[in-house]
């Protein structure tokens, strides 16, 4: 049998093959001869077994080296090196973002370095400082100091002020913090590389990947108007609109858009940053920030004998998985991506998620944009820079 690199790929020499080869050599007349004791507990036999194990580890290393150059088989750092050739890198662990209502004296300054936290010690820092505008409180964007899914915390859990400031009396979050996540897995990175590789250049997927690599970007959606006339959303001919969520700096976003967009293509959006090229010429880069629309959902269940009230939390989870948002179970927050930016919410997609839940004879789903209470089934249409989300507290299940 041939070992090593063959026309069929890499054939590793196994431990059993190595040991057999060593034993055959030992029995040669010029070595120990045919009568040598090669039993498992014989002196020579034990030496050959240990040598075979060491050689086996070398063959395993050779096999790993051979496969490390293939995108479907590479892992860890080797995968990082392969995708770097395609111009992308592994997404780091992500911080969560949350809107926090800060209360205190009108006109008080919420200064840089203002830090708040949950009772469990998950801390958040203010992203954009400002001034309190009224007695009802002012909303500010905060970002977690640490990264990871543990920074996704429930609503009303961020109540402690770490750095006291004059005129600020209390803080509270009306919704969970979202966006915290682990380092991108090998499987996720591998698929993203394939999507990027198949398109390449300055295609829409390539632009999206470039923006995703900007620190503190959570989601990216790219619209294109390739026509010679303005489209239905008012984008001018031959333009792109990049919709970005997260807390990335304007300078980082502007530079990433400039580096990735095709030459001669206009960018449109509600935010902008001026970038200078190598010749000192300036270019205005535009993008938009998506607006979240919270959805109230009422699920009306007609049950049968197989129904159990333990299905109610499961139904709420299914609704959140379909729409997107956060499911709060005790103190744990699980975030679901759900629908894309600009995608409408339709009742039948929610109902389809209940297919394998026992005890349901009939079901209707009512939906409305918060704070409206739903009264009928509907298709909720969102704008091109809006995205739907819902939370455990926004889903009601009625059983009859």
Transcribe 205-246 into DSSP letters: HHHHHHHHTSTTEEEEEEEEE-SSS--TT-PPSSEEEEEEEE
- Which are the contacts of 65, defined by CB distance < 8 A and separation ≥ 6? none
- Cβ atoms of 352 and 315 closer than 8 Å: no
Q: Residue 165 class from Cβ within 10 Å (0-12 exposed, 13-18 middle, 19+ buried)?
A: middle
- Which of the four pLDDT bands, split at 50, 70 and 90, describes residue 200? low
Taken in order 223, 192, 143, 137, the sign of the CA dihedral is positive
Model confidence pLDDT, tens digit, residues 211-221: 988 888 888 99
* 30 has pLDDT over 60: yes
Q: DSSP state, 370?
A: T
Banded model confidence at residue 329, pLDDT cuts 50, 70, 90: confident
How many beta carbons lie within 10 A of that of residue 40, not counting itself? 7
pLDDT of residue 258: 94
Whether the predicted pLDDT of 8 surpasses 80: no
Angle at 238 between CA 282 and CA 253, to 5 degrees: 45
Per-residue pLDDT band at 86 (split at 50, 70, 90): confident
User: Residue 69: is its pLDDT beyond 80?
Assistant: no
Q: Is the pLDDT of residue 287 over 90?
A: yes
Q: What percent of the chain has pLDDT over 90?
A: 70
* Ramachandran assignment for 91, one of left (phi > 0), alpha (psi -120 to 50 degrees), beta (any other): beta
10 — pLDDT class (breaks 50, 70, 90): confident
Q: What is the mean pLDDT of residues 163-172?
A: 95
Question: What's the pLDDT band for 66 if we cut at 50, 70, 90?
Answer: confident
User: At a CB cut-off of 8 Å and minimum separation 6, what does 8 contact?
Assistant: none
172's enclosing H/E stretch is strand 168-172
Residue 26 DSSP SS3: helix
Q: What percent of the chain has pLDDT over 70?
A: 98
Tell me how far apart the alpha carbons of residues 140 and 264 are, in angstroms, rounded to a whole number.
37
Confidence of residue 7 (pLDDT cuts 50, 70, 90): confident
Q: What is the DSSP letter of 166?
A: T
Whether domain 200-287 has CATH 1.20.1650: the reply is no
For the chain, give the mean pLDDT.
91
| Per-residue pLDDT at 306 exceeds 80 | yes
Question: Quick one: which of 356, 355, 360 has its CA closest to 305?
Answer: 360
Strand bridging mode 386-391 / 325-329: parallel
- Cα angle for residues 184, 186, 188 (degrees, 5° grid): 60
Residue with tokens 């977690």: 144
| Cross-strand partners of 354 | none
Grouping H, G, I as helix, E, B as strand and the rest as coil, residue 25 is: helix
Place of tokens 């005790």: 330
pLDDT for res 114: 97
pLDDT band for 149, please (50, 70, 90 cuts).
very high
Q: Say whether pLDDT at 145 is over 90.
A: yes
- Distance between CA 110 and CA 60 in Å, rounded? 58
Distance from C-alpha of 171 to C-alpha of 117, rounded to nearest angstrom? 9
Q: What is the pLDDT of residue 18?
A: 94
pLDDT score, position 196: 65
Does the pLDDT of residue 261 top 80, yes or no? yes
> Do residues 142 and 178 make contact, with C-beta atoms less than 8 angstroms apart?
no
pTM above 0.75, yes or no: no
User: pLDDT confidence of 201, banded at 50, 70, 90?
Assistant: low
Of 269, 266, 250, residue with least CA distance to 211: 250
């Amino acid at each position: 049998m041939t070992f090593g690199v063959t026309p069929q790929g890499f054939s590793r020499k196994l431990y059993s093959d190595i040991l057999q080869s060593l034993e055959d050599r030992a029995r040669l007349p010029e070595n120990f001869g045919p009568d040598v004791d090669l039993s498992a507990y014989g002196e020579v036999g034990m030496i050959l077994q240990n040598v075979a194990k060491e050689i086996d580890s070398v063959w395993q290393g050779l096999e790993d080296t051979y496969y490390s150059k293939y995108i479907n088989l590479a892992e860890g750092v080797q995968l990082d090196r392969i995708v770097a050739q395609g111009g992308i890198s592994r997404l780091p662990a992500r911080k969560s973002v949350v809107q926090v209502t800060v209360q205190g004296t009108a006109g008080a300054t919420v200064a840089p370095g203002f830090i708040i936290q949950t009772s469990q010690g998950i801390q958040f820092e203010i992203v954009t400082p400002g001034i309190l505008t009224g007695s009802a409180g002012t909303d500010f964007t905060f970002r977690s100091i640490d990264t990871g899914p543990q920074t996704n915390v429930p609503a009303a859990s961020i109540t402690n002020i770490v750095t006291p400031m004059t005129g600020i009396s209390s803080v509270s979050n009306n919704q969970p913090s979202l966006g915290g996540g682990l380092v991108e897995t090998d499987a996720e990175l591998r698929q993203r590389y394939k999507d990027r590789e198949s398109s390449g250049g300055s295609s829409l997927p390539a632009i999206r990947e470039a923006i995703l690599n900007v620190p503190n970007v959570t989601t990216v959606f790219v619209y294109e108007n390739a026509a010679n006339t303005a489209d239905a959303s008012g984008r001018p001919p031959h333009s792109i609109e990049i919709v970005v969520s997260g807390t990335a700096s304007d300078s980082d976003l502007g530079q990433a858009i400039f580096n990735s967009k095709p030459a001669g293509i206009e960018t449109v959006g509600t935010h902008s940053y001026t970038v200078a090229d190598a010749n000192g010429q300036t270019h205005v880069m535009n993008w938009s920030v998506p607006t979240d629309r919270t959805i109230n959902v009422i699920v009306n269940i007609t049950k049968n004998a197989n129904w159990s009230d333990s299905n109610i939390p499961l139904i709420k989870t299914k609704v959140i998985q379909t729409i997107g948002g956060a499911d709060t179970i005790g103190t744990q927050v699980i975030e679901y991506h759900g629908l894309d930016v600009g995608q409408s919410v339709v009742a039948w997609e929610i109902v389809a998620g209940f297919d394998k839940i026992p005890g349901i004879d009939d079901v209707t789903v009512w939906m409305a944009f918060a704070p409206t209470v739903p009264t009928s089934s509907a298709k909720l249409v969102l704008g091109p820079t809006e995205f739907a989300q819902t939370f455990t507290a926004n889903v009601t299940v009625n059983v009859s």
